[in-house]
Amino acid sequence: MYRIQQFAQLAGVTVRTLHHYDRLGLLKPSHRTDGGYRLYAMKDLAQLQRIQVLRYIGLPLREIGEVLHHADAIATETLPEMLSRQASVLRERRDGLDRVLRAVEYAERKLQSGTSPDLSFYTTILKEIEMQETQNWTRKYYSDSAKEIIDERARNWTPEAQVKASDDWGKMFARVETAIANSVAPESPEGRAIADAWMELVGQFTGGNPEVLEGLRKLYNDRENWPETAQPIAPMNPAVTEFIMRAKA
């Protein structure tokens, strides 16, 4: 057992930080003396390490509390399992930062060549950064094999491809909304052609893989449970969704 000053020195944090984590319920000391002094054990060091890793990858303390309180499996993890899981999370963070870096480097090359990137490109960079800061919460909807496919695709994804994808989806939503405004029946040949074009864009993300497509379906079917900080993957107008679903039926 360690008194709080000893534990803070061992862990490389301040006593004030430990007090703060205690107040938030993130890290309660294992024991207290009869006089009320905090006593920490080695298992508390493991808990603190989890908190620090989650902070390092950008999670706010409130979200860290939710992760720790709802992930019951964490308590039974072995050290190798815990390290493996955290290494996986860090690799995801690194891949995301690499995408942001590639986007910024692309902007630099454009400026050096005398061409200024347009507004949509800067929007793409901001979206990448926002995605990293919200920790890509969508991954829980995909199987492990689907995640591998998505990760491989992300590593090869370029800023130019992102700009084109954003433009393609913007035109697609405008096409559906125009069809709705013109009273086009979803079941009509025109409606089904629109749905086919929609699925072709979806296929650019899924690569035709059924597991990736299934994860995407789970994601959108659970929209009511998306976190408040989530940025919608696409501006899903309910009328647009209904039109596409009827046209695909």
Res. 148: pLDDT tops 70: yes
The residue among 155 and 127 whose pLDDT is bigger is 155
Same-domain pairing of 25 and 60: yes
Kind and range of the H or E run holding 3: strand 2-3
Residues 103 and 58 in one domain: no
Within this chain, do residues 10 and 87 fall inside the same structural domain, yes or no? no
User: Mean pLDDT over residues 9-14, rounded?
Assistant: 82
| The last residue of a domain, from among 40, 61, 76 | 76
- Which stretch of 181-190, 196-205, 208-217, 234-243 has the lowest confidence by average pLDDT? 234-243
| Whether residues 19 and 91 fall in one domain | no
What are phi and psi for residue 122, nearest 5 degrees? -65, -35
| Together in a domain, 118 and 155 | yes
Mean pLDDT of 210-222: 87
Same domain, 150 and 124: yes
pTM: 0.46
Percent of the chain with pLDDT over 90: 14
pLDDT of 12: 80
Output the pLDDT for position 17.
87
pLDDT tops 60 at residue 98: yes
Per-residue pLDDT, 94: 74
Question: Domain range spanning residue 119?
Answer: 79-248
State residue 60's pLDDT score.
72
Domain end, chosen from 43, 76, 109, is at 76
Spatial separation of the C-alpha atoms in residues 88 and 67, rounded to whole Å: 16
Q: Which of 51, 53, 45, 43 lies closest to 69 in space, CA to CA?
A: 51
13: CATH? 1.10.1660.10
222 and 135 belong to one structural domain: yes
Is 123 in the same domain as 66?
A: no
Gyration radius of the chain over CA positions: 23
Pair 147, 46 in one domain: no
Name the strand (E) or helix (H) holding 80. Answer: helix 79-112
Residue 183 backbone dihedrals phi, psi, to 5 degrees: 60, 35
Helices 144-155 + 79-112 axis angle, to 10: 30
Per residue in 18-51, pLDDT (tens digit) is 998 898 888 888 898 888 889 998 888 878 877 8
Residue 70: per-residue pLDDT: 60
User: With b meaning 16 or more CB within 10 Å and e meaning fewer, what string describes 192-226?
Assistant: bebbeebeeebeeebeebebbbebbeebeeeeeee
Q: Please state whether beta strands 38-40 and 2-3 pair in parallel, antiparallel, or not at all (unpaired).
A: antiparallel
Same domain (yes/no): 126, 230: yes
Same domain, 136 and 192: yes
Output the pLDDT for position 185.
95
Residues in the chain: 249
> Is residue 60 within 8 Å of residue 51, measured between CB atoms?
no
Which of 32, 57, 76 terminates a domain? The answer is 76
Percent of the chain, pLDDT > 70? Answer: 72
